[in-house]
Chain A
Amino acid sequence: MKIAVDAMGGDNGPTTIVAGVERARDQFPDIEFLLYGDEAKVRAELKNEQRITVVATSEEILADEEPVRAVRRKKDASMVVAAQAVKAGEADAIFSAGSTGALLAAGLFIIGRIKGIDRPGLMPTMPDFRTGGQFNILDIGANADSKPENLYQFAVLGNYYAKNMRGIERPRLALLNNGTEADKGDLTHKAAYQLIAAEKDFNFIGNIEARELLNGRADVIITDGFTGNAALKTIEGTSMTILHLLKETIMEGGIKAKLGGALLKGSLGSLRDKFEYSRYGGAVLLGLKAPVVKTHGTASPEAVYYTISQIHDMLEKNVVADVVDYFSRNELAKRPEKND
Chain B
Amino acid sequence: MSEQEIYDKIAQLIEERFEVSADKVSMTLDFKKDLNADSIDIVEFILELEDTFGAEISDEDAEKLATVGDAVNYVKNHQ
Residues of A within 8 A of B (CB): 68-69, 72, 105, 108-109, 119, 143, 145, 335, 340
Contacts and interface: CB of A to CB of B under 8 A. Distances in A.
15 contacts: A68-B43, A69-B59, A72-B47, A72-B59, A105-B43, A108-B40, A108-B44, A109-B43, A109-B44, A109-B47, A119-B40, A143-B40, A145-B38, A335-B19, A340-B36
Looking at chain B's contact residues, is the secondary structure mostly helix, strand, loop, or mixed?
helix
A145 B39 CA distance: 11
A68 B59 CA distance: 10
A105 B43 CA distance: 10
A122 to B, nearest CB: 14
Nearest to B36: A340
A213 B40 CA distance: 30
Contacts of A119: 40
Interface of B: 19, 36, 38, 40, 43-44, 47, 59
Contacts of B38: 145
Contacts of B36: 340
- Most chain B CB within 10 A, of A69, A72, A119, A143, is at A72
A223 B19 CA distance: 26
Given A72-B47, A109-B47, 10 more contacts: A68-B43, A72-B59, A108-B40, A109-B43, A109-B44, A119-B40, A143-B40, A145-B38, A335-B19, A340-B36
B57 to A, nearest CB: 9
Contacts of B44: 108-109
Nearest to B47: A109
Contacts of B47: 72, 109
Contacts of A340: 36
A171 B43 CA distance: 35
A69 B40 CA distance: 13
A109 B43 CA distance: 8
Nearest to A145: B38
Nearest to B57: A72
Contacts of B59: 69, 72
B48 to A, nearest CB: 10
